[in-house]
Structure 1
Amino acid sequence: MNRERGRGARPESAMSSSSEHTSSSLGTSEASHPTEGQILTIGGDGLANLVAPATKSRARGRGQKAPAKDETISLAAGNVKALGGQMSALRLRQMAERPDYGARGRLIQLWTNWFTFSIGSKQPVVVYQYDVDISSSSLSKMDKDRRQFIFWEAVRQHPEVFGHDPSHFVYDDGKILFSREELLFKGGLKNGTLEFQARHPRETRTFEWTMAIQKVRPDPIILDVSVSAVPQLVRRDTLPIQCIDLVLSQNRRYPFNRFFELWYGWNQRVYCFPEFMKDNRFNNNLGEGKEVWRGLFASASVGQGYRPIINFDVAHSVFYQDMTLADFATEIVGRNRNDMNRPFNMKERELLNNAVKGVKFQITHRGAEKRVYRAKGVDEAPVNIRFTKEEANGGTREVSVAEYFAEDYGPLQLPNMPTVVAGGQKRIFFPLEVCKLYRPQKVPLSISQNERVKANMIEKTRLDAPVRKQVIEKLVKDACLNAREDPFLRSFEINIDASMLSVSGRILPPPTITAKDKGKRDTACHFIERMGSWKTENVQYSTAATCSNFAFICMNMPATRQKEMQEFCYLLVNACRERGMHFDTNVPEEGNERSRGTQPYYVSSIKSDRELDDAFHMCKKETEKHYDSPLELVFVCLDGKDARRYGEIKSLGDLKYGIPTQVVQWKTISAILRSASERRPNNTLQQLILKVNAKLGGVNFKTESQKDDLWQSLTNPKSATLFLGIDVTHPGAHEVRESQSIGAVVGNVDFACHKFDVSYRVQKRFHEQMVHFTKQLKERLFAFLSATKEKPARIIVFRDGISDSQFEAALHEEVTCIEQACRSLDPEYKPKITYIVVQKRHHTRFFPQQRQDTGQGQNVPPGTAVDTVVTHPIDFDYFLCSHLAPKGTARPAHYVVLFDESNFSSDDLQAITYRLCFHNARCAKSGSIPAPTFFADLCCTRANYYLQHFLATFNERSEEDMERALEVNERLKLKMYWI
């Protein structure tokens, strides 16, 4: 894909390209061929590049200068001859380049889980790409495991095509094959079809197979990173990196060696079978027939100085345990083994049916035949299912499944357990005791995201930073990733340095956090740098909100909890008052002078969800009748987590009635009361009132501007900045088919960037690009203008949720939408735009080299920035770990600047990013990502609750209907009701 400089830099001459495939859709790549004087090679981001003579770009910003690029490039790959094709790509917009390196902050030495490697010692490594299509007339579907075995069996059976060394090939277990040598078929043809017979080890039958192999491109791919300086990058392709990634895992995915019995490959990860995991401290049992497997993630790239590097990280995933379906069933329904044969009731059958649907299992009652089936569900017990059995003499008789097994395979031990159903139109019933879960088998994401499984998974896989570092190094060693033991690495001439890279980071200075003292004067909060947090004792909120009335809805509240609820309200209101909030409901509590002025006017106790709407209506009606003013806040107390119920509460409060709501659980109230009775710090209560103040329009804390600093310029009313956070959420696997993706744009509505508002839109399922971006941006611009009476001079966007392959579309399409939205206000209105991508789903980690440099949990301290060694050699990107991770290993956010008309320096953008991490109204500590981005993610989740409630309640399913389902009540506009 194109990776170009930001607008405002000197434009480079347009170049043209010829490609076999073209596409304008988001995330697609084109295959192009070098012209004379160019070479297909691994570029700065580790992608295949067409390299041509370059033009110098001007240096920008302050700090340490980024190294200048050579104006020309030598053909270090050996004067590869022209591969043809004409270049005709018009550059619409250029991607920002790194202007310099950051210099601000205290230096810290770090280890990172990136490792260097080299390719080819003397000559460039050349590979050929092929498309593979495997089919059999006897099978309609083929899974990854079957394709994997059949392909390598074909390699063994056809040495006339593949030769005698399988290490010359890497296969992705799907459609893609890379070969060190050009394949020749019968008659010297470069494409061909092979027909052969093969039997998968888990089958008893031998099938006829057809494998068609088609050369994808006429010319080879050269895996070369010897070029010391890459100039203008015209075309980028992921194929070389894809090939290297496959080489890294192929030895553990090759079915005819010893490693295949120890490891299981899945995409860029290989997981170790638990019985071979040499770590007795790792308890992998998750319950409910599931276990967590530990493995190794590997991905190649190119770092600073165009040095090839590999990212190794520990990976975890949920797999089914090695057990019979009978044992699996007892775990699912929560029985003990002594109670297995008791008949299942309807609820247990339903639980088990949902758990086994789609799961692969093997039969065990036919000796060597271990045929694999996929479960359709469960049915009656074997003693209750009858069918017609054919006798040896040609007659028939009716028998039960239990009788059939007793006669042919021996009596069943558990005849009262359900049967598992397999097959198509002709259903096959198997007793659970003769079935075993197929292994290895990953648990589907929709099941592994189950709250209990997820919580167990997080707890068991959490690794503190020093432990994670040791585990990664051990996994790299155990995987034998060296040319001596790995024939595929040896064949592709890849040599890996098994030591983690050392990198210098900087601990950025935090902003000054201010609040009010008891005299309502601004005062600085005490900041604890090692914790990334500030103390809130004896201070009041910067802008304390007012609440003159509130109501309380309790779900399933017994009479014994009435006093608990009153005590909670007393503690809550007094805590709000201590922070400066005016919270006086003037509701006398008869016989309880202590609680006077702290209780809700109206309390509704309900038994079921059907009463929720009526409860809201009565709270609103009775409270507003008493106070002659709108109801300002509703607390809803639940007896446990319930996503469906939560969605209904938020839909009623935000959409129908326009009342901010705060949901609390009884266990949370109990914890708050317990802390109060024991006179311990009540952190849970403090977190709660932070949200309450923000929902009612207050500002908890502010970041102070220093005289003449950048932030003062950005928040100056005459040169104000609109900060935007953008995210798109997609339907989960458990959500209804009609559910759509939702795009959220969050923007500040004040100069100081403490108050935010949001625009939601429904868009096509799984479409990451913002479809209604221009409309949403216009709403954010109008909201900012309405609230501040000024148009922003700058717009700084933090875009979440897009990957590297989508940068080009985001750059060209979403930045254009911003410009169009600005012109809709005024044709001459052209604010300076900066567009930054925020990436959280990556595997880069940093580990302090010195113990004295560690934060809590021995992680890097908050504010640690890295923009060298493992960052892109050309593009403007940086890592920033802005938060405290008290448990586990801190994951830094990765920021990529796609576009920058303000010509910010590295220090500038890193400082802006870090400061915005302190603007999260939910807590008194720095967040892991800037507040606008975090809020956009939060709002996407909130809008999805609206949508799911709408789809579960109404039959209308058009996009217009779903759009209306996200319309927030006018009373809540410009309020942070979603916090």
Structure 2
Amino acid sequence: MEAPFAITEFVKRHGLGHEGSRTRVRANFFEVITLPVNDIIQYDVIITPDVPPRLNRKVFNKFSESNRGGALGGARPVYDGRKNMFAHKDMPFGNAGTFDVNLEEDGAAPVGSKRPPRLFTVKIKKVGVIRIEELLRFLNARGSCTANCLTAIMALDILIHHEPSILYNTVRKSFFTPQGARPFSGGMEVWQGYYQSARPTTGRMMINVDLSATVFYEAGPLVQMVTKILGRRSPDDLRRGFLDKDRQKVERTIKGLRIRDNHLSGRKRRFKIERLTPTSASNTQFDRGDGSNIDVATYFYQQHNRRLNHAYLPCVVVRKNVYLPMEVCDVIEGQRYMRKLNGKQTDNMIKFTCQQPQQRANKIRQGLDILNYRNNEYLRQFGMQISTEMAMVNARVLPTPLLHYHPSSTEASLRPKLGQWNLRDKKVATGATLGSWSILAFVDEEKLRDQIILGFVRELVNTCQETGMNIPNKNPPLMRANHQGTIEESLKKVWIKAGNAAKAQPQIILCILPNKGVPLYAEIKRVCDTVIGVASQCVQCDHMEKPKKQYCANVCLKMNVKLGGMNSFLNPTHIPFIADKPTIVMGADVTHPAPGKSERTSVAALCASLDAKASRYAASIRIQSGGTEIIVDLANMVKELLKTFYQTCGRKPERILFYRDGVSEGQFKQVLEKEIYAIRAACQALEETYKPNITFVVVQKRHHTRFFPIEKRYTDRTGNCLPGTVVETDITHPFEFDFYLQSHAGLQGTSRPTHYHVLFDENDFDADKLQTLSYNLCYLYARCTRAVSLVPPVYYADLVCTRARFHSPLMSDTESSEEGTGAAATFGVVKQELQRNSLLFLKSLIKHIYYRNEDAIQSASVLANSNLNEIDQDDENDINE
């Protein structure tokens, strides 16, 4: 049995923090007022034949209804759809029982060669008894988290989900209702959902309830859906022609969709779409059975007296040699759209889910009406009561750190207000010099004249100089290129042009893009990073006409760090852990292939600070087999960055603060054991006696905890909690060292705090030291003048992972769901592709994003070259870029 939620014991909480102003906030947690009094009985369930969980639930519900007064003795057991059943008492049938269940035909199954069986066997076997007393000891920090505790939490989770799973469409821990569904582009619609999860907290169990949303196919006529998929106004617009690319696009979208026919009076059969015919209904012929052929349109007229209105459309194939015209098909409600959203759909999804804090809190309360905990028969039977009041929890707002710019600035030091500031009256701490560069516009002159581009460049140059950069070359050469043409050749030409014009190695190419699409941007980054070895700065053509000072300032920030500058730094008193002794701060992340992608490789990235200001970073990257969360070659990655730190500072780090992103609670123990060992091994590989103190902190953003301010003075202009809001009690682990930190100002919607969980600590951090340090670091993200939502090394690691996927066409995730490659990429091919790009990538990405002195760049180049040689010798190693 595998528990969906796992807790293991790591660093204990040493005490609570005291820094900052105390306040109270509401959190989307609801207290379990009374836990089950009696122990819970666990049973193992096997349903044969084997079917998906959705059908398993139907079988179990039929079994439960039929046997409640007999074999179940009046009990209402709960079930997870797979193997686990829980009851509030022992069942009359004893330790085991076998039952036959006949599931009546409800028309839910599609017609086809593999119809699901109607007769099922349900075998139930008693597994054990869950002691609630043991769970209570754990919650009150009087006992460890045993297997019994984990099973008890799982049982409570299944208990709160059982009734919604019967009534609504369920996806993991969320259920969705069509009420208030919003139309989406492409024949889809967004359904509002509600997430719930049983969580152990300090002294009590809580239920975390949040909003969720997902995309479903719109129910109704299939022809209407096809019209929307192709972006037409009405089905009549399809008469102008249904091209093969249209057919392929539609087929990709609706393949596997369940439909119902509507041409037979009195009965409607259900089918699943296998594919589309390459020809229209009027041109698709089949054998009538007597040796003669007839087209589908004529057949429907003769057989069903139905003249097709859309005979120019292809037919859907529902099984071998069975064709249905699109207009006799209706899409069945409640089918989730599982494919990747395209750009427009993603924008619509963001708009739907973006809700201000008060609005979100109100909708969560509305969700409680749907959940109806008070009248839930299953909860009542187990003796479990849940509060309908959102929890009020203790919080503190940490003080804002002091940020420094160049001493010559009119405002050289400041304390940002509400987590944001601007560059007015400030000069960057270290300004880079830009002498050799060029401009490449992927926009026609008719749409964007040369004068407009040069006007924007003048404003950009002036802004850069005002903020402390040195730009002796104010008139870089301008070239144009077709964004659908040979982008690599165009970039090579403009690179040569920049070098010839300045008589110096080109430093950066300014690219003007016609749109926000990913493919062009990805190709520019691939070529510049891995072919040419030069930095690139992309800007949108929309900003050319009337260049805004703020936009130019933001571009300036990015260009300065790409060219080796440093934008700002914190007062050393705000990061004493880093400033007092040689300390390296690391951030690690692993990104996996998107669902449905053919390639099967994951990218692991590690970023590390290089100085006492924690403002310069270097990166190391590997690819590894897809879906592996453990960073396989972490030891060598850590070793590389420790070397780079030493080559930059001349000293070895005495302390390592390691922030790890992308790890779920169930993976804590495995990641900690494997990766702490790898960090230790890296240190000892450099020197046998080298043992710096290590602190290992997991950083989580993918959770459903939200905070809602109560006091107006602790509310920002978007209605969110202030930056620096930290919560370490009430909704945190019963006794381990974890906390929630909302370090950023809200832009739109409801801010999501970051969850920090300390798994290993040799640096003897207390709550104040780690919370304050983590918060202050969030002001050092180089690409904007805002405090960000998580510590920069983790942020950078995520950016590096994303960039690395652009460097191989086999790994790139730039295609929309409408443009799949259709070929599976093997690990070895991707490995070979990235190996060719590794040296230039390390030199360009690290140099232009993180490094700020030529000595460090030279060291990085040597390091990259030596590692590349090692890869040539040992093909079993992962690729170092």
TM-score (norm 2): 0.89
Deviation at 1:794, TM superposition (A): 0.7
Distance 1:503 1:427 in 2: 63
Match of 1:199 in 2: 105
Deviation at 1:563, TM superposition (A): 1.7
Match of 1:462 in 2: 354
2:530 aligns with one of 633, 641, 655: 655
Aligned 1:247-266 pairs, distance under 5 A: 247-254=159-166, 260=167, 263-266=168-171
2:486 aligns with one of 602, 607, 611: 611
Aligned 1:217-366 pairs, distance under 5 A: 217-220=127-130, 222=132, 225-227=135-137, 228-233=140-145, 235=147, 238-254=150-166, 260=167, 263-274=168-179, 277=180, 284-304=182-202, 306-337=203-234, 339=236, 342=239, 343-366=241-264
Distance 2:101 2:361 in 1: 48
1:171 aligns with one of 76, 79, 85: 79
Deviation at 1:810, TM superposition (A): 1.6
Deviation at 1:364, TM superposition (A): 2.4
Deviation at 1:926, TM superposition (A): 0.2
Distance 2:701 2:163 in 1: 30
Q: Which runs of 5+ in 1 are unaligned?
A: 1-20, 22-27, 31-45, 50-93, 137-141, 255-259, 278-282, 586-597, 677-681
Distance 1:623 1:537, change over 3 A: same
SS of the equivalent of 1:503 reads strand
Match of 1:868 in 2: 729
Match of 1:489 in 2: 379
CA contact (8 A) 1:552 1:604 kept: yes
Match of 1:533 in 2: 420
Distance 1:29 1:817 in 2: 27
Deviation at 1:549, TM superposition (A): 1.2
SS of the equivalent of 2:389 reads coil
Distance 2:177 2:484 in 1: 46
Distance 2:648 2:148 in 1: 44
Distance 1:966 1:236, change over 3 A: farther
Distance 1:472 1:233, change over 3 A: closer
Match of 2:644 in 1: 783
Aligned 1:358-397 pairs, distance under 5 A: 358-379=256-277, 380-390=279-289, 395=290, 397=292
Q: Deviations over 1:746-782 (max 9, x none)?
A: 0012221101111010001011110110011011101
Equivalent AA in structure 2 for residue 265 of structure 1:
T
Match of 2:878 in 1: none
Distance 1:160 1:294, change over 3 A: same
Equivalent AA in structure 2 for residue 964 of structure 1:
Q
Distance 1:387 1:469 in 2: 58
1:913 aligns with one of 762, 774, 791: 774
Match of 1:101 in 2: 16
Distance 1:522 1:847, change over 3 A: closer
Deviation at 1:105, TM superposition (A): 0.2
1:665 aligns with one of 517, 535, 540: 540
Q: Deviations over 1:882-915 (max 9, x none)?
A: 0011311111000000011011110000011001
Match of 1:405 in 2: 300
CA contact (8 A) 1:726 1:743 kept: yes
Distance 1:781 1:522, change over 3 A: farther
CA contact (8 A) 1:191 1:215 kept: yes
Q: Which runs of 5+ in 2 are unaligned?
A: 813-820, 852-881
**Is 2:39 the partner of 1:117?**
no
CA contact (8 A) 2:107 2:269 kept: no
Distance 2:534 2:348 in 1: 36
Distance 2:441 2:221 in 1: 44
CA contact (8 A) 2:223 2:326 kept: yes
CA contact (8 A) 2:6 2:666 kept: no
Q: Deviations over 1:344-383 (max 9, x none)?
A: 2333323222221222222222345443322223222211
Q: Deviations over 1:69-115 (max 9, x none)?
A: xxxxxxxxxxxxxxxxxxxxxxxxx7211011011001121111111
Match of 1:582 in 2: 470
Distance 1:420 1:862, change over 3 A: farther
Distance 1:959 1:160 in 2: 60
Q: Deviations over 1:41-80 (max 9, x none)?
A: xxxxx8699xxxxxxxxxxxxxxxxxxxxxxxxxxxxxxx
Deviation at 1:657, TM superposition (A): 1.6
Distance 1:233 1:495 in 2: 23
Q: Deviations over 1:635-655 (max 9, x none)?
A: 122222332332221121111
Aligned 1:816-827 pairs, distance under 5 A: 816-827=677-688
Equivalent AA in structure 2 for residue 902 of structure 1:
N
Deviation at 1:415, TM superposition (A): 3.0
Q: Which moved more, 1:843-852 or 1:235-244?
A: 235-244
Q: Deviations over 1:716-766 (max 9, x none)?
A: 4xx21100010000011353x234000000001222110111101000101
SS of the equivalent of 2:486 reads helix
SS of the equivalent of 1:947 reads coil
Equivalent AA in structure 2 for residue 268 of structure 1:
K
Deviation at 1:455, TM superposition (A): 0.6
Distance 1:959 1:335 in 2: 39
SS of the equivalent of 2:373 reads coil
Deviation at 1:292, TM superposition (A): 1.1
Deviation at 1:420, TM superposition (A): 4.2
**Is 2:642 the partner of 1:727?**
no
Equivalent AA in structure 1 for residue 608 of structure 2:
G
Deviation at 1:827, TM superposition (A): 0.8
Match of 1:40 in 2: none
Deviation at 1:870, TM superposition (A): 0.5
1:153 aligns with one of 33, 43, 62: 62
Match of 2:817 in 1: none
Distance 2:848 2:510 in 1: 16
2:515 aligns with one of 635, 640, 654: 640
2:412 aligns with one of 520, 523, 526: 523
Distance 1:628 1:308, change over 3 A: same
SS of the equivalent of 2:735 reads coil
Deviation at 1:474, TM superposition (A): 1.5
Equivalent AA in structure 1 for residue 739 of structure 2:
Y
**Is 2:672 the partner of 1:811?**
yes
Deviation at 1:176, TM superposition (A): 3.0
CA contact (8 A) 1:296 1:314 kept: yes
Deviation at 1:510, TM superposition (A): 1.2
Equivalent AA in structure 2 for residue 745 of structure 1:
L
Equivalent AA in structure 2 for residue 102 of structure 1:
G
CA contact (8 A) 1:271 1:293 kept: yes
Q: Which moved more, 1:217-226 or 1:357-366?
A: 217-226
- CA RMSD, aligned part only? 2.7
Identity %: 25
CA contact (8 A) 2:107 2:270 kept: no
Deviation at 1:555, TM superposition (A): 1.8
CA contact (8 A) 2:45 2:82 kept: no
Distance 1:914 1:412, change over 3 A: farther
Equivalent AA in structure 1 for residue 286 of structure 2:
F
CA contact (8 A) 1:98 1:876 kept: yes
Distance 1:581 1:238 in 2: 57
Distance 1:618 1:340 in 2: 44
Distance 1:905 1:164 in 2: 53
CA contact (8 A) 1:47 1:236 kept: no
Match of 1:703 in 2: 570
2:120 aligns with one of 198, 206, 210: 210
How many residue pairs align between the two structures? 831
CA contact (8 A) 2:6 2:665 kept: no
SS of the equivalent of 2:250 reads helix
Equivalent AA in structure 2 for residue 174 of structure 1:
R
Distance 2:217 2:431 in 1: 52
Q: Deviations over 1:292-338 (max 9, x none)?
A: 1112111111211x211111111211111122111101111122236
Match of 1:509 in 2: 399
Deviation at 1:788, TM superposition (A): 0.8
CA contact (8 A) 2:742 2:789 kept: yes
CA contact (8 A) 1:658 1:968 kept: no
Deviation at 1:967, TM superposition (A): 0.7
